[in-house]
Amino acid sequence: MHRIEESVEVSAPLDTVYGSWVRVEEFPRFMRGVVSVDRSDRGASLVVRTAAGPREFEAVTTELVARERMAWDSGPGPVRHRGVVTFHSVDDRTTRVMLQLEVEPHGIWERLAEALGFVDRRVIDDLEDFRRHVEEDADAARA
């Protein structure tokens, strides 16, 4: 499994950032790597873009501590994916989002993309997209 650890600081209070993250069904609106999300009782069904084309998997929530952390696991299947995201208040107006993700590439294209750093780049870009989305929503709410 390939492990990715990235973080981003968001200029918004912790409650705002956490609230945006748990609305996973909105991810396709602003994260380029996420095609669709359907919430379920146990987590969410996601379709993501990969080097080999769209991949679908179920992300089952394995841990949820409100305002602190959320963990998930795809379980066995064609897409092996698990992770945890934590939320840290830097100050009243800034929150650090830390993401640890493990993915198992399948096939030659996904392994090549992983070896060339494309998977890490996608995670960095998606976190940056999330930051922009939250900050733009926070700015609009203040206006």
Domain ranges in the chain are 2-23+60-142
Helices and strands (H and E) in the chain: how many: 3, 7
pLDDT of residue 120 exceeding 70: yes
For 104-110, what is the mean pLDDT?
Answer: 69
What pTM, to 2 d.p., does this model score?
A: 0.86
- The fraction of the chain above a pLDDT of 70, given in percent, is 83
The pLDDT assigned to 78 comes to 63
Q: How sure is the predictor about 31, in pLDDT bands with cuts at 50, 70 and 90?
A: confident
The pLDDT assigned to 134 comes to 96
The pLDDT assigned to 79 comes to 64
For 78-93, what is the mean pLDDT?
Answer: 90
2-23+60-142, superfamily in CATH?
START domain (3.30.530.20)
pLDDT of residue 65 exceeding 70: yes
Strand partners, 44: 39, 59
Residue 80 backbone zone (phi > 0: left; psi -120 to 50: alpha; other: beta): beta
**Cα→Cα distances 120→15, 21, 53, 103, Å:** 27, 19, 17, 10
> Could you give the residue ranges of the DSSP H alpha helices within the chain?
14-22, 107-115, 118-142
Q: How sure is the predictor about 92, in pLDDT bands with cuts at 50, 70 and 90?
A: very high
